[in-house]
Chains A and B, each alone.
Chain A
């Protein structure tokens, strides 16, 4: 076998390419790859929608500079007013007593009530009343928390003498978009990994379909070895993955999100694609039919993807660090390790399947 394979080296290469070409032609005829890209585009558009939506709930500024009007009462209310002057988007109006403040709240003159009293040992007890189940509750409570934290900081500063260790001063507040971290740590990894799973799924379908319709037997009559058939199919599936990822990264760049270390990211995702494709080949060889194969593949991918996000230094985190340009030597070592693992896994699976055949 080894001898024959060496002699037919060139023929083997061209038959691999022929099979890969056949796979790609099938894909483009069915236009499935277009559908795949459309699905990914949709996911990308929607995840930004989701984030914009969530952020606008949490960031009152995004809702047009919402100002929360607090009715204040109690003997410590002047300090509360001082805190409010330091917080954007919250103002305190003083009322004579808690009853008056609550009345103002009832009449919609105030968004919330804070009754702040000093107790005998000097602690301030703030009783906060916020409206229940209205649209703005979240926004109001977020602002209230900001206000009360500032209040706490001020009060704590006055009591530093009683503390064994004083709190560290905070650096200046800077404006930063919450989308930034999300884009790099969630959106980019998701976009980079989607093509990986699509490729694996393609291999499962392609192999099980050939087994199912009996065309694999036909192929084997042709002068190609089983290993070459697997190579061809895997080659086609792996080849289409980096292109899709590159498309996303370029799109993000055009959209004003610079992505660093693109070659390393592509190398990492190609290695992962090879790994997933190896998994797909192994599953199609072991599973009795297509349904079982797709089922096992879904579970396998779920496990892999879940593990990938959960691991410290997993591929999702590695992609995030590469993309945001915070990679160090460890990240590079990680990429090399993934490439090695993928190569070993694929070679192992190919060898096993070439020796044992499919489907029995």
Chain B
């Protein structure tokens, strides 16, 4: 064991030395120079105001009179570009025309009429124009002297869990004088029962007390809502913030007060809105809680992976071009040692970068733990790609494909972090939770990271199968390499009489067939999830049938491709009897593994309609009589057995026969799925 570790480390050291030589100082300097130039250009652009991230700049053309009051609103909206009314034709040179600005007796604008071209673009332009006017009004009001009239409504928003029996608030700061600074004393805990009172408390006396409220969830119920004070005071209205003190005893808090004693209402700056923190201000300043910032930060973790796999893929393929890896293969090192050693530096680099990013963006150990399986999967997929690719060109596409697939697989579910538990299929969701400071249970962490780690291990296993002299240095299409890699994992099955059916060696060979198919399950689920996500945008009438056929196809391929590899590479004897035997073995392996993953139900994936269509055969057995449930449980086994045997018989003949029987098996499977979905609705 220690020996092996030593060997792995030796290969790792060698890899580091080589990779260090690959990217020399000149290259790094050149890269640095590029970045510097970019930074200078960007900085210069920012300085002269030519740089902005408005991708929608000047996308809609609005015809508006130069002296119309609306001209300013149009000017200030990046997406709108003004065109003179005189020369504009609706639908050709303008998307929206501002007409008939009706003025009242005092000369103030009272009505406005706009006409948009009768297209989707016209509608979008009209919506954009309305927003521009709203934004313009907000700016106008911010300049008003009379803040009470400009912002007649002051809002304080707080988020309260419904779990506590009675979350009552008590107010603080009543009647205290405008001295502002003293709150904090409130927050009396334990007072429990009376909420309600608070609301009014503060008002009334024009003292500017601002209360703040302590929010004490744990202990004794002081909780409180409060908000306060500001309101009552003079002018300041908006700033009460509230401290949220979960721990103990209610010392109240925070306090805020700042504006209380001041006069004059300043438009409040609302801080902390990004993570859905409590906010206060005018209604326009409310920002709905959305983990957008955490999400962007989580994305930052994925960016370095793309560079890492580029270097790693090159390094692996380098071994394969011009037989450069041969000397290493003839040493007493096993392929596992070599690959582990070659991969180790990249895993270490990933860990290092992840840790640095985690520290920089305020994540903790959980972020690092969550990103590690993602990094491993990136590396594993690249390893397989580099083992299969024939040239660097091919590798580039494989690398891009890996990045795109894994990035979307990791990133997209995380978008729905606060929406549905399905989000947990991506470890990035854990990162978002971590950045938001939410607790994550061990089970959730395992559910999130486990499958991806398993997937990485299986991919490494697949690639390792062809890490040997006779495969590494040959140039074959990717598909044939894949068959090689699968066939390596199978043991021979010969045609034998009934007497030998229970032969131990034969059983073990069939067991390897079942195991290989079972290993495909994680990838089948990933593909099915991606299919669900991709078809999500289509109407249900289209997406469900397409999805049923896609899923049937994916599962049939997963069950039979290993068998095809076995027949093609001569591992299995090409007879119908063998085909039936391996077909059934593969179906049993798939069935058992699928049942083992019934956790999808626990996660609530089946709540989604399309999710139910996808996983209907796995879940949804409750609420049925035992007989029906048993039938439902074993019906899939029969289906899998039959369909896979059909495909296996084709696979034992040749490629055309395999394609035909695979199509037939897919149709059978899809028809069955359709039956299940229509029964379950």
- Is there a chain B Cβ closer than 8 Å to A212's Cβ? yes
Residues of A within 8 A of B311 (CB): 291, 295
Residues of B within 8 A of A81 (CB): none
Nearest chain A CB to B266 CB, angstrom units: 14
- Is there a chain B Cβ closer than 8 Å to A4's Cβ? no
Chain B residue nearest to A47 in the complex (CB): B408
Chain A residue total in the interface (Cβ 8 A):
124
Evaluate whether A321 and B126 lie within 8 angstroms (CB atoms) in the complex, with A167-B140, A205-B393, A298-B310 already known. Answer: no
- Say which residue of B30, B156, B194, B282 sits within 8 Å of A152 (CB atoms): B282
The answer to whether A141 touches B157 (Cβ under 8 A) is yes
Q: Which of A30, A38, A116, A316 has the most CB of B within 10 A?
A: A30
- Say which residue of A42, A162, A198, A324 sits within 8 Å of B405 (CB atoms): A42
The answer to whether A205 touches B237 (Cβ under 8 A) is no
Chain A, 82-100, CB within 8 A of any chain B CB: 97-100
- Is there a chain A Cβ closer than 8 Å to B620's Cβ? no
Residues of A within 8 A of B61 (CB): 326
Residues of A within 8 A of B321 (CB): 212-213
Chain A residue nearest to B49 in the complex (CB): A312
Interface readout for A153-175 with B: 1 if CB under 8 Å, 0 if not?
Answer: 00110111011111111111111
Interface readout for B38-71 with A: 1 if CB under 8 Å, 0 if not?
Answer: 1001100100001111111111110000000110
The answer to whether A36 touches B120 (Cβ under 8 A) is no
Residues of A within 8 A of B391 (CB): 26, 30, 205, 209
Evaluate whether A205 and B22 lie within 8 angstroms (CB atoms) in the complex, with A46-B412, A130-B159 already known. Answer: no
Residues of B within 8 A of A31 (CB): 477
Evaluate whether A128 and B146 lie within 8 angstroms (CB atoms) in the complex, with A30-B393, A311-B50 already known. Answer: no
- Is there a chain B Cβ closer than 8 Å to A5's Cβ? no
- Say which residue of A45, A125, A129, A151 sits within 8 Å of B534 (CB atoms): A45
The answer to whether B34 touches A98 (Cβ under 8 A) is no
Residues of B within 8 A of A27 (CB): 393
The answer to whether A131 touches B159 (Cβ under 8 A) is yes
The docked-state distance in angstroms from the alpha carbon of A131 to that of B235 is: 29
- Say which residue of B126, B141, B146, B282 sits within 8 Å of A174 (CB atoms): B126
The docked-state distance in angstroms from the alpha carbon of A142 to that of B150 is: 22
- Is there a chain A Cβ closer than 8 Å to B114's Cβ? yes
- Is there a chain A Cβ closer than 8 Å to B186's Cβ? no
Chain B, 140-171, CB within 8 A of any chain A CB: 140-141, 143-146, 148-162, 166-169
- Say which residue of A108, A125, A169, A312 sits within 8 Å of B112 (CB atoms): A169
- Is there a chain A Cβ closer than 8 Å to B290's Cβ? yes
Evaluate whether A125 and B237 lie within 8 angstroms (CB atoms) in the complex, with A144-B286, A151-B283, A173-B130 already known. Answer: yes
- Is there a chain A Cβ closer than 8 Å to B204's Cβ? yes
**Interface size, B (range):** 35 or more
The answer to whether B159 touches A303 (Cβ under 8 A) is no
- Is there a chain B Cβ closer than 8 Å to A2's Cβ? no
- Say which residue of A106, A138, A177, A326 sits within 8 Å of B162 (CB atoms): A106
Residues of B within 8 A of A54 (CB): 415
The total of Cβ contacts below 8 Å across the A-B interface reads 386
The answer to whether A46 touches B534 (Cβ under 8 A) is yes
- Is there a chain A Cβ closer than 8 Å to B108's Cβ? yes
Nearest chain B CB to A95 CB, angstrom units: 10
The answer to whether A206 touches B418 (Cβ under 8 A) is no
The answer to whether B400 touches A39 (Cβ under 8 A) is yes
The docked-state distance in angstroms from the alpha carbon of A316 to that of B392 is: 29
The docked-state distance in angstroms from the alpha carbon of A285 to that of B46 is: 33
The answer to whether A120 touches B232 (Cβ under 8 A) is yes
- Is there a chain A Cβ closer than 8 Å to B27's Cβ? yes
Which of the segments B131-139, B455-463, B495-503, B506-514 contacts the partner chain?
B131-139
Chain B, 512-540, CB within 8 A of any chain A CB: 533-534, 536-537
Interface readout for B234-270 with A: 1 if CB under 8 Å, 0 if not?
Answer: 1101000000000000000000000000000000000
Chain B residue nearest to A80 in the complex (CB): B153
The docked-state distance in angstroms from the alpha carbon of A52 to that of B532 is: 13
The answer to whether B150 touches A156 (Cβ under 8 A) is yes
Residues of B within 8 A of A100 (CB): 196
The docked-state distance in angstroms from the alpha carbon of A201 to that of B26 is: 21
The answer to whether A131 touches B51 (Cβ under 8 A) is no
Evaluate whether A171 and B397 lie within 8 angstroms (CB atoms) in the complex, with A99-B196, A130-B158, A317-B55 already known. Answer: no
The answer to whether A52 touches B35 (Cβ under 8 A) is no
Residues of A within 8 A of B60 (CB): 324, 326
The answer to whether B110 touches A169 (Cβ under 8 A) is yes
Residues of A within 8 A of B129 (CB): 171
Chain A residue nearest to B143 in the complex (CB): A165
Interface readout for A32-71 with B: 1 if CB under 8 Å, 0 if not?
Answer: 1001101100110110111011100110000000000000
The docked-state distance in angstroms from the alpha carbon of A292 to that of B315 is: 12
The answer to whether B137 touches A310 (Cβ under 8 A) is no
Nearest chain B CB to A345 CB, angstrom units: 15
- Say which residue of A117, A138, A156, A213 sits within 8 Å of B203 (CB atoms): A117
Chain A residue nearest to B70 in the complex (CB): A168
- Is there a chain A Cβ closer than 8 Å to B468's Cβ? no
- Say which residue of B149, B231, B310 sits within 8 Å of A163 (CB atoms): B149
Q: Which of B45, B194, B396 has the most CB of A within 10 A?
A: B396
Residues of A within 8 A of B578 (CB): none
- Is there a chain B Cβ closer than 8 Å to A360's Cβ? no
The docked-state distance in angstroms from the alpha carbon of A122 to that of B149 is: 9
The docked-state distance in angstroms from the alpha carbon of A171 to that of B113 is: 6
- Is there a chain A Cβ closer than 8 Å to B116's Cβ? yes
- Is there a chain B Cβ closer than 8 Å to A247's Cβ? no
- Say which residue of A105, A130, A198, A296 sits within 8 Å of B34 (CB atoms): A296
- Say which residue of A125, A138, A198, A312 sits within 8 Å of B231 (CB atoms): A125
- Is there a chain B Cβ closer than 8 Å to A286's Cβ? yes
Q: Which of B110, B123, B288 has the most CB of A within 10 A?
A: B288
- Is there a chain B Cβ closer than 8 Å to A133's Cβ? yes
Nearest chain B CB to A88 CB, angstrom units: 15
Interface readout for A96-135 with B: 1 if CB under 8 Å, 0 if not?
Answer: 0111101001101000000111011111111111111101
The docked-state distance in angstroms from the alpha carbon of A286 to that of B394 is: 23
- Say which residue of A102, A174, A201 sits within 8 Å of B167 (CB atoms): A102
The answer to whether B231 touches A133 (Cβ under 8 A) is no
- Is there a chain A Cβ closer than 8 Å to B176's Cβ? no
- Say which residue of B59, B231, B395 sits within 8 Å of A321 (CB atoms): B59
The docked-state distance in angstroms from the alpha carbon of A27 to that of B316 is: 22
Q: Which of A100, A152, A202 has the most CB of B within 10 A?
A: A152
The docked-state distance in angstroms from the alpha carbon of A286 to that of B24 is: 12
- Say which residue of B23, B152, B225 sits within 8 Å of A129 (CB atoms): B225
Evaluate whether A292 and B149 lie within 8 angstroms (CB atoms) in the complex, with A39-B404, A98-B196 already known. Answer: no
The answer to whether B237 touches A287 (Cβ under 8 A) is no
Evaluate whether A162 and B56 lie within 8 angstroms (CB atoms) in the complex, with A135-B419, A311-B45 already known. Answer: no
- Is there a chain B Cβ closer than 8 Å to A299's Cβ? yes
- Is there a chain A Cβ closer than 8 Å to B81's Cβ? yes
- Is there a chain B Cβ closer than 8 Å to A320's Cβ? yes
Residues of B within 8 A of A202 (CB): 393, 396
The answer to whether B195 touches A295 (Cβ under 8 A) is no
- Say which residue of A53, A169, A184, A212 sits within 8 Å of B415 (CB atoms): A53
Evaluate whether A169 and B109 lie within 8 angstroms (CB atoms) in the complex, with A120-B206, A124-B153, A291-B311 already known. Answer: yes
Q: Which of A54, A128, A298, A321 has the most CB of B within 10 A?
A: A128
Given A131-B160, A137-B276, 10 more pairs with CB closer than 8 A: A43-B404, A45-B534, A53-B536, A106-B167, A124-B153, A129-B159, A152-B151, A176-B120, A213-B322, A292-B27
Identify the A interface with B (CB < 8 A). 26-27, 30-32, 35-36, 38-39, 42-43, 45-46, 48-50, 52-54, 57-58, 73-74, 97-100, 102, 105-106, 108, 115-117, 119-133, 135, 137-138, 141-142, 144-145, 148-149, 151-152, 155-156, 158-160, 162-177, 180-181, 184-186, 189, 198, 201-202, 205-206, 208-209, 212-213, 286-292, 294-296, 298-300, 303, 306-307, 309-313, 316-317, 320-321, 324-326
* Cβ contacts A to B, 15 pairs, < 8 Å: A125-B237, A128-B155, A137-B288, A156-B149, A165-B144, A174-B116, A201-B396, A201-B400, A202-B393, A205-B391, A209-B392, A298-B310, A309-B55, A310-B45, A326-B59
* 3 closest residue pairs by CB, A with B: A99-B196, A148-B283, A155-B152
